[in-house]
Amino acid sequence: MRRILTVEHAGKSFESEGRRIPVLKDVSFSVSEGEMLGIVGLSGCGKSTLLSVVAGLIEPDTGTVSLSVGEGIPLSPTSPELYRYVQLVVQEPSEMFSPRMTIGEFLCEPLRSLGLRQEDRHLEELFASVGLDADLLSARPHMLSGGQLQRVVLARAFLSAPKLILYDEPTSALDVITQAQILELIRELRKKRPSAGIFVSHDLAAVQSVVDRILVMSEGCIVEELAPSELTRAKHPATRRLLDAQLTG
Ligand SMILES: Nc1ncnc2c1ncn2[C@@H]1O[C@H](COP(=O)(O)OP(=O)(O)OP(=O)(O)O)[C@@H](O)[C@H]1O
Ligand SMILES: [Mg+2]
């Protein structure tokens, strides 16, 4: 499979109380076209920072990130064109909405910024495919539940047919039943509209159910790579701690 994302020796530190705290230390990995990569690790190990680097929201201090979308020169995360190819889904969907926007306006925002327009009929079809009623297109975000908002965010992420979708704990703020529904929706959407993804979560069972391969992070480093079926046999102490926490908690 062709590589779509290549991260090589990425490093990032943040200033805190006059000291530089390294948050990413020499991180290298790649994602192939259509592949879903899982990243797990304890809170604070650098997962969201890594996704922000890939999304071009923060610049790494060292190393390179390149996206190869099959149109010649690889893109860097600072390329203005990146928006066309990479979409982000976050834990708290309400953070992504402006209260004044209707759901329909939110849905079309990325397309509009690309100078494209989506026909109403297609929007309604897409909306139906994420299990939402077309009436909600004219609603305001506060009228929707967290699960419904996450469905809208997913619909928007898939609408511009991105090459890579970054999921940062997309189910962590939801109740258990809604979590299962959102995971099922992600699996369905990926079948219909193939894209590569990076799926970050604390929930190991959720990760196992949607990804093709798992990287374990600890203190800013990738410490282990596993197939989903190998997770319970993981050897690294960081992975064992995660597993033990899930089994007891
Ligand atoms: N902009 C920033 N300035 C200073 N420190 C930061 C910044 N962003 C992240 N950090 C620090 O970097 C470390 C890693 O944070 P990050 O959010 O990447 O962890 P995470 O693995 O996503 O954790 P969680 O599972 O809780 O979401 C934390 O100690 C955090 O406080
Ligand atoms: Mg995080």
Taking alpha carbons only, the member of 4, 30, 56 closest to residue 225 is: 30
Q: How confident is the model over 72-92, as pLDDT tens digits? A: 667 776 777 777 789 999 988
The CATH label, of 3.40.50.300, 3.40.640.10, 3.40.1710.10, 3.30.70.3270, for the domain at 3-92+164-248 is 3.40.50.300
| Residue 147: predicted pLDDT | 94
Structure pTM?
A: 0.93
8 A C-beta contact, residue 224 and residue 236: yes
What percent of the chain lies above the pLDDT cut of 90?
Answer: 64
| Residue 143: predicted pLDDT | 95
Domain ranges of the chain: 3-92+164-248
Output the residue whose Cα is nearest ligand 1's atom 2.
14
Q: Which of 14, 91, 168, 172 for a ligand 1 pocket mutation test, highest count of atoms within 8 Å of Cβ? A: 14
Q: How confident is the model over 18-72, as pLDDT tens digits? A: 999 999 999 999 999 999 999 999 999 999 999 999 998 899 999 999 988 776 6
Structure-block tokens of residue 5: 């994302």
Q: Is 12 in the pocket of ligand 1 (CB under 6 A)?
A: no
Q: Which atom of ligand 1 lies closest to the CA of 45?
A: 21
Q: Is 47 in the pocket of ligand 1 (CB under 6 A)?
A: yes
Q: How confident is the model over 115-144, as pLDDT tens digits? A: 767 677 778 888 888 999 999 999 999 999
Q: Which atom of ligand 1 lies closest to the CA of 49?
A: 18
| Residue 207: predicted pLDDT | 94
Output the residue whose Cα is nearest ligand 1's atom 30.
44
